[in-house]
Amino acid sequence: MEITFLGQAGLFIETGAGSILCDPWFNPAYYASWFPFPSNEALDLDRIGRPDFLYVSHPHHDHFDPEFLVEHVDKRTTVLMPDFPVDHLERELRSLGFSSFVKTRNGEPVEVNGLRFTIVALTAPSDGPIGDSALIVDDGQTRVFNQNDAHPLDIPAIQEMGPFHAHFLQYSGAIWFPMVYRFPPKVKEAWARRKRENQLARALRYANGIGAVHIFPSAGPPCFLDDDLFYLNDVDGDPTNIFYDQTVFLEYLRTHGNERGHLVVPGSVITLEGEHCSVVHPMPEADVLAIFRDKRAYLEAYQARVRPRIQAIKAGWPRGQVEILPALQAWFEPLLEMADLTCAGVNARVLLDCSSEQIVIDFVDRKVYRWSGEECRYKFWTDSALVEDCILRHEEDWVNSLFLSCRFEAEREGPYNEYVYNFFKCLTPERLQYCEGYYAEKAPVHELWRCGDYLVQKRCPHLKADLTRFAEVRDGILTCTMHGWQFDLATGRCLTSDDRRLYTKPVEQETVAPAEDGGAPGTR
């Protein structure tokens, strides 16, 4: 097995039975904030453009690069699809021209043309909620675990799919906390130091837990080449910087007794023959090490090359094309109306200060309105052009677009609240209903509602849509209008698929009081 490292989480895996292109990323992402580090500008894109298989772990744009896929990848390639609850990624790939898909089941191997693939899909709201995933490739001689950004909780289950000869893993998070928060300097430094240590420790736990013969740190942080964000780069080994590079993790591995790590840069070719491994870099080793030893000079030269592109992207941001408040009212208020558990989880107001106007997203009264001094527990400041862009594109996930750009500041009273950020990940009814259903499944009480002469589970077995809002009943058939799935009320049998069932039972009139259809059942 031969693997060419493409930068970030990108891999081009070549075997005797076929090739797999994984998570290729070449264009600036998140409003020209993120660039691959080290640069992968010199790679031969034609060489990797006709793979037998394409694997995109999840739809974040440092893994899913639509511009590259459109321009450079053969659309006859077969796509390996994770078992995500929502088909957003598949729809996106089909819109780019791909039509051949192998749909996997979570954690179950599938064999195609002599290769065995296993995809571990993660589906909690914190994972997207579209999800994240990891890929295992086995050609009969060598088995590789490509973990990328995924953080599977059940490490023993992954171990049982091994043993592994190589492990590609995320060694550093790329999230914005605490760098964008308006904390006092000493507080921010303390949070950042703790986060850096936690990220390193987490990656070490995965490396030791998986136990692969060879470890390759990948899917690390990007570099920030816009003048406004250059300060985020860790150029001096700052213990309070959360965006450290591969060499920092490799040294951390060594100090903890793990000597199995390898440094690779875009273009490095890894040859694996069972437990044997060799790495050939695209440049002399001294030049590879110079990237990290004189990182500031390397980044400044990289910045000079891409500055015109950054300027062009920023010049294209929309300004004055959208009336922000009425647009957000029309978009967010219907979502707030159906977000019962999310609103209860936030239970506060969020201030969005987008330079030209200040807007409150009120999770208590479920309204969006102009700020007039109300107390807001959570606050965000950003450029109105980015909000306009999200509105014009109807961006469904602001967390993995605007927020990942680090082009904002934040403030909060109290601890982190996942409900706030999960709302901004779920800005369509489909996404929000999945998130609400996930929370409902974690609740201790199984919710039922009265639907005619039956008590019915509140959440659709397909993708957890709230049936009190999305159910239509005709001739004893309940249709969930979110995706059109149908169920026989008398039996609970799914008429759309064989693997789902709706919980229903007849109302016992002597114990259950009449209730409005669509309301919660009452008892005498």
326-354: pLDDT as tens digits: 999 999 999 999 998 899 889 999 999 99
DSSP label at 509?
T
Nearest alpha carbon to residue 310 among 298, 302, 318, 319: 302
Instruction: Match 């294209």 to its residue by tokens.
Output: 316
Handedness of CA 382, 384, 386, 388 (dihedral sign): positive
Interatomic CA distance for residues 31 and 402, integer angstroms: 8
pLDDT at 290 over 50: yes
Which neighbouring-strand residues pair with 351?
360, 379
Tokens encoding 437: 């259903």
Distances (CA, A) of 376 to 150, 342, 347, 372: 33, 17, 11, 11
Q: How far apart are CA 84 and CA 154, in angstroms?
A: 18
For residue 310, what pLDDT band results from cuts at 50, 70 and 90? very high
3-state secondary structure of 173: coil
The alpha helices in 231-339, defined as continuous H runs, are: 246-255, 285-293, 295-315, 324-338
Model confidence pLDDT, tens digit, residues 226-241: 999 999 999 999 999 9
**φ and ψ of 244, to 5 deg:** -75, 165
Return the closest-CA partner of residue 480 out of 498, 454, 458: 458
Q: Phi and psi of 449, rounded to 5°? A: -140, 160
444-523 CATH, one of 2.102.10.10, 3.30.1330.10, 1.10.1060.10, 3.40.50.300 = 2.102.10.10
Q: Is the per-residue pLDDT at 516 higher than 50? A: no
Supply the pTM of this predicted model. Answer: 0.84
Over residues 37-50, mean pLDDT: 97
Average pLDDT over residues 196-217: 94
Burial class (CB in 10 A: 0-12, 13-18, 19+), 39: buried
Residue identified by tokens 């790495």 is 279
- CATH class belonging to 2-311: alpha beta
Q: Where are the domains of the chain?
A: 2-311, 324-433, 444-523
Amino acid at 346: V
Mean pLDDT of 146-159: 90
In angstroms, the CA 400 to CA 215 distance is: 27
Give the three-state DSSP class for 368: strand
Q: How far is CA 153 from CA 411, 482, 487, in A?
A: 30, 30, 34
Residue tagged 């097995």 (tokens) = 1
Q: Give dist(CA 67, CA 73) in Å, integer.
A: 10
302: alpha, beta or left, given left = phi > 0 and alpha = psi -120 to 50?
A: alpha
How far is 484 from 478, CA to CA, in rounded Å?
A: 10
State how far the Cα of 74 lies from the Cα of 336, in Å rounded to an integer: 42
pLDDT value at residue 438: 79
How far apart are alpha carbons 274 and 264 in whole angstroms?
19
Higher pLDDT pick, 27 / 504: 27
Contacts of 305 (CB under 8 A, 6+ apart): 41
Cis peptide before 38 (omega within 30 of 0): yes
Distance CA 308, CA 302 (A): 12
Cα gap 113→20, rounded to integer Å: 12
324-433: what fold? Nonspecific Lipid-transfer Protein; Chain A (3.30.1050)
Mean pLDDT score of the chain: 91
Instruction: Give the pLDDT of residue 443.
Output: 59
Asked if the model's pLDDT at residue 258 lies above 70, the reply is yes
Confidence of residue 514 (pLDDT cuts 50, 70, 90): very low
On the question of a common fold for 2-311 and 444-523, the answer reads no
Residue 523's pLDDT is what? 25
Residue 341 CA neighbour count, 13 Å, CB half: 19
* Partner residues linked to 81 by β-bridges: 103
Residue of higher predicted confidence among 154 and 256: 256
Q: Which residues are paired to 102 by β-bridges?
A: 80
Which tokens in the block code for residue 78?
């077969």
Q: Is residue 3 predicted with pLDDT exceeding 80?
A: yes
Alpha carbons 311 and 227: distance in angstroms, whole number: 10
Tokens standing for residue 142: 């060598």
Tens of pLDDT, residue by residue over 68-115, are 999 999 999 999 999 988 888 999 999 999 999 999 999 999 999 999
Spell out where 425-488 has E strands. 448-451, 454-457, 471-474, 477-480, 485-488
According to DSSP, the residues that pair with 515 across neighbouring strands are none
